[in-house]
């Protein structure tokens, strides 16, 4: 279950509000991926389908996971005890 967001714009999408930060054509897809993160009981639940490209991050985002929205946008989060924290949609390029 999603317990917290790292920024207000990511939380806006979760609450089904429009955000100027993200492309309009991706906001529905971002919402659907947030639903999957919310439903996950274990981070391994997000390994399928492979297109999500679930991976553990390093560097400044050490211990965070990310799944792909597309080639440019990712959703980053911490996953602990069945819950997601500091969920954030990030532009990687």
Among the listed residues 16, 41, 62, 93, the single catalytic one is: 93
Under DSSP, the state recorded for 92 is -
* 55 carries an active-site annotation: no
Distance between CA 69 and CA 60 in Å, rounded? Answer: 20
Q: How many CB atoms lie within 10 A of CB 92?
A: 12
* Contact yes or no for 3/84 (Cβ under 8 A): yes
Distance between CA 9 and CA 37 in Å, rounded? Answer: 17
Catalytic residues: 93
């Amino acid at each position: 279950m999603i317990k917290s967001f790292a920024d207000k714009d990511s939380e806006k999408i979760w609450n089904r509000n429009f955000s100027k930060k993200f492309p309009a054509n991706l906001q529905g897809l971002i919402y659907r991926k947030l639903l999957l993160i919310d439903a996950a009981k274990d981070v391994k639940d997000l390994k399928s389908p492979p297109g999500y490209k679930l991976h553990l991050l390093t560097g400044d985002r050490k211990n965070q996971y990310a799944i792909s929205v597309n080639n440019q946008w990712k959703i980053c989060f911490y996953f602990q005890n069945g819950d997601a924290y500091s969920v954030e949609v990030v532009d990687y390029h």
